[in-house]
Structures are given as structure tokens and as C-alpha cells.
Structure 1
Amino acid sequence: MNSLAPTIEAIPLFSLIRDGGWTMWLIAALSVVTVAVVLWKIFSLWQLGVWGGSHSRRALQLWAQGQRSQALAEVKGRPSARARVAQAAIGTTLDPSIDEKTAREETSRIARQTLYRAREGLRALELIATIAPLLGLLGTVLGMISAFQVLQEAGNRADPSALAGGIWEALLTTAAGMTVAIPAGVALSWLESVVDKLQADMEDLATRIFVKSPPPEPKAALRLEAAE
């Protein structure tokens, strides 16, 4: 009795992968890894708050107005990348036991850790964008070798249609490799631009905090800060 449910072999996608040989299976695996890495990277960057920054901007405004304790409270304990850098810069600047050089080094350390987290996974996308078309080309070369071997063995009895079928199956791997490499390269460029924007923002934030000397707070605010 025939089943109504289609078998895996009946699905065109799996038929193409099967016809393309073992390189097609590797390219298919790379496509799955690409999707997983991109989704994970977007979630990771969202957790870092790379598309935010309202609290750090507000803290910078308060810092410029001389409201130092309020500026620190605005970013204290917040997990976003910009807020962590702002907290490190403001906190070390307000600490009388830390000189400016040490404060800058500590802020740079926090920024480097944050950027390392933001760049995690980008190397994997770069590798996929590089090797996917190479795997496709390898599959095509191997397929062409097999097709011409069949042609040589057939001699005068060679069937042009069979040769053409072997050639298009061989070229299939090149197309598949490019299909994976192009989205991986686009995603890599976009994610790198996001991380570069984050780096520029954090550098600007730290520089403006260290360079700008805020006016002293009112005496009432200073007494309240000392009492805390």
C-alpha cells in the first residue's frame, strides 16, 4: 500500500543534495550552522544592548551638568555594553584612590571584554563564507572528473544526454556553495558594522567622560553623597 506522506527521496531538496555527492552534504551542514550562528549572534548582541544606549546617553548628560552621583546611578548595575563602560569610567573617576591612568586602564579592560563578547562567532561566519564556495568548487571538479571518466569508458557509444546530466549534477555543488557563502558574507558584514558602531560609541563615551571636567555639584548634593 502506497503511503500518502512523501518520502525523503521524493523531496526535491534532498534529491539535489543526494545527487550532488558528499560535498553537498557538507554544504548543507554549513547552511544549518550559518543560520544557527546568525540567530545566536543576534540574540547575543541584543543581550549586550548594542541597539540601546539611552541610559548611557542620559548619564553622559548628567555628568556634563556636574551631577556626578546621579550619572553613576543612571548606569550602575545595568548589563548593556555602553552602560558597563560608562559605569567603569564614571566610577573610577569618582574614586579618590584611583588616579586617571588607572581609571583609563580599567575602563579599557571593561571595553575590551565587552568587545570580545560582541565579536564571538564572527570568525565562524567568516570561515563559512570562505570555505563554502571552495567546497562547491571541489564538488564540481570531482563531478566533472567522474563525468569524463564515464565518457572515456563509453567511447563511441557515449550518450550526450548522460554526459550533460553528469555535468549539471557537478555544477550543482558550485551553485550550492555560493548560495551558502553569499548570505554568510552579508550577515558577517552587517554584524561587523554593528560591532564597529558599538566600539566607536564606547570609545566616544569614555573619552567624553574623561576629558570633560564637570562643574562641582551643589553643596547640598555633596553633603547627601557624603552621608551615603
Structure 2
Amino acid sequence: MDPLTTQILDPLTTPDLLSAPELLDSTLLPSVAEPAPSQLDTLVNLLDVGGPVVWILCVFSVFALTLILLKFWQLSVTGAGGKRKTLNALTSWNQGKQSLAIEQLNSSRQALPRLIGTAMRGVHQKGDTPQLREELSRLASIEMENLRSFLRPLEVIANLSPLLGLLGTVLGMIVAFQQMELAGNQVDPSVLSGGIWQALLTTAAGLIVAIPVFLAHSTLERKTERIAHDMEILITSVFTRNCLDPYIPGATQQSQKSGEDWKTADGAINAA
């Protein structure tokens, strides 16, 4: 046994270890590992490295996410639920049950059923008049303006985020080259590479914000256009309830019945 091990194991010489810490081998003591940084710490570090541009992009992302969730909820309620209720009322309307159709839409607070209900009440009370069509066109424009609300801010965020990221990259590159100039002939490559990746971080953050917002804006815009298309067709169906319209359940059946009655009458005339 070597002298160092004998001295460590000897209880009489143990107090000497306190006065001679160099005798302790690091392999004899348990090593304490440094705690790994959490994801939150890493995120905060990236925000600090990115600077004000990344913080602005974070605010943009939170604002855009709120608008996207709000608009998807609004258009889902107005589109799917409102269209289903409107088609049921138009089925009754095409079958000649005008009072029932109006009653089905009276209590609705959704844009599409409310507008179609107004058209039905106008036709039922005053008939097809130019004034009624103008009023319905005005109301439809108001409803569509409400449905298109907050789509413009999403478009601005989708277009502005990459530009902000590029601005942050340019500013970061300026700082990196200034550090190279101050270093003179003793340029450390790690300083340059560190400045470059910090500068490129803002561009990546801008694209991360812009791409999902752009996709969400395109989807919401398409949903809005579809609701506008449905609104135009359904309003027209109120005025042309006696015509063949395969878009509305009940209208086709009524038109087919009218065609059969016409064939029966035509056959009776020819027989006479």
C-alpha cells in the first residue's frame, strides 16, 4: 500500500487532511455535475442574444396567435353552423312554408342566417323590390366587413416579420464587423462566428413568425370568400324560390314536381 493511501486510511492522521487538502485526490471525492439549463433558460438566453428585434417578433407572434384563434372561431360559427341553419330554413321557404322559414331564422344571431332572415321577411311583406335588393346589398357589405376584420393586421405581421428579422441581421453584422475592426490584427475567429450566428438568429425568428401567420391568413381569407359566395347564392335563392336551384334542398324537388305537373297538363291538352 502506498504512503498516501496509508495516511488517508489511518484515523490518527485523518485530521491532517484538513490542513493539507492537496493530499485529497479528486477521484476520491464525488463529483458534483452542473445542472443542465432548462428550456425556459435557453429561451430567455436566445431572447437576450436576439435583442429588441426578437422581443418585438415575440409580441407579434402572441398578437397574431390571438387573432388567428378568434377569427377561426368566428368563421367556423358563421360558416358551418350558420349555413346549416340557413339551408334548413330555405328548404321550408322553397316548400311554400314562408312563416316557418322566417321563424327558424328569427332567433339567430349569426351573420348568414340573420341576413337571409331579413331577405325572407322583406320578400314576404313587400315582395321583390329594387329597394329591398339595395338594402340587402348594404347589409351584406356590412356583414362581410365584420368578417374581414383583423385580416389586414395578420397580413401586415406576415409581411413585416421577415423584414424585421433581416433588419436585426444587418444590425448584428454591423456590430460583428465593428468588433473585428477594434481587434485589429489579433482577430479571434470565434468572435466573428459568434456575432454572425447571433445576427442570423433574428432572421430565423422572423421567418418562424411569418410563415405560420401567412398560412393562417390565407386560410382565413379563403373561408371569408366562401362565406361571401354562400351569402350571395342564398340571398338570390330567396328571390328565385320557384326556379330550379340544385344548391338548395327542396328547391329541386319542387321544381321537379312543377315539371311533372307541366308534363301532365301538356299531355291533357294534346289528348284533347
Answer yes or no: same fold by TM over 0.5. Answer: yes
Is the CA contact 2:128–2:239 (under 8 Å) kept in the aligned structure 1? no
Give the fraction of aligned pairs with identical amino acids, expressed as a percent: 40
Partner of 1:183: 212
Unaligned residue ranges in structure 2 (runs of 5+): 1-34, 244-253, 255-272
Matches within 5 A, 1:80-99: 80-96=110-126
Q: Which of 34, 49, 61 is matched with 2:78 structurally?
A: 49
Amino acid at match of 1:84: R
Aligned to 2:22: none
Correspondence for 2:148 among 119, 137, 140 = 119
The two structures have a TM-score, normalised by structure 2, of 0.72
Check if 1:105 corresponds to 2:105: no
CA distance in 1, matches of 2:228, 2:219: 14
Consecutive aligned runs of 4 or more in structure 1 exceeding 6 Å deviation: 5-10
Mean Cα displacement is larger for which, 28-37 or 176-185? 28-37
Counterpart-to-counterpart distance in 2, 1:200 and 1:141 = 45
CA contact (8 A) 1:130 1:181 kept: yes
Residue 133 of structure 1 pairs with residue 149 of structure 2 = no
CA distance in 1, matches of 2:94, 2:160: 50
Q: Hey, what does 1:162 align to over in structure 2?
A: 191
How far 1:99 moved relative to its partner? 5.2
Shift, 1:85, TM fit: 1.6
Contact 1:140 1:170 in 2 (8 A): yes
Structure with bigger gyration radius = 2
SS at match of 2:79: coil
Q: Distance in 2 between matches of 1:184 and 1:57?
A: 33
Query: Which of 60, 64, 82 is the aligned partner of 2:94?
Result: 64
Q: What is the CA-CA distance between 1:18 and the residue it aligns to? A: 0.7
Q: 1:110 to 1:7 in 2, by over 3 A?
A: farther
CA RMSD in angstroms, aligned pairs only: 2.2
- Residue number in structure 1 paired with 2:228: 199
Q: Deviations over 1:145-192 (max 9, x none)?
A: 110111112121000111000000000000000000001101101111
* Greater shift in the superposed pair: 61-70 or 176-185: 61-70
Letter in 2 for 1:65: Q
Contact 1:134 1:177 in 2 (8 A): yes
How much has 1:135 moved relative to structure 2?
Answer: 0.3
Aligned length: 209
Deviations 1:24-82 (A, max 9, x none): 11111111111111122223334x52222222101111121222111111211211222
Q: Does 1:144 align with 2:173?
A: yes
| 2:47 paired with 1:24 | no
Letter aligned with residue 44 of structure 1 = Q
Q: For the residues of structure 2 that align with 1:148 and 1:61, how far apart are their CA atoms?
A: 72
TM-score normalised by structure 1 residue count: 0.85
Question: 1:66 and 1:10 mapped to 2: Cα distance?
Answer: 64
One-letter amino acid of the counterpart of residue 93, structure 1: V
The secondary structure found in structure 1 opposite 2:158 is: helix
- 2 CA distance for matches of 1:160 and 1:193? 50
- Would you say the 8 A contact 2:61–2:209 is kept in 1? yes
CA contact (8 A) 1:88 1:110 kept: no
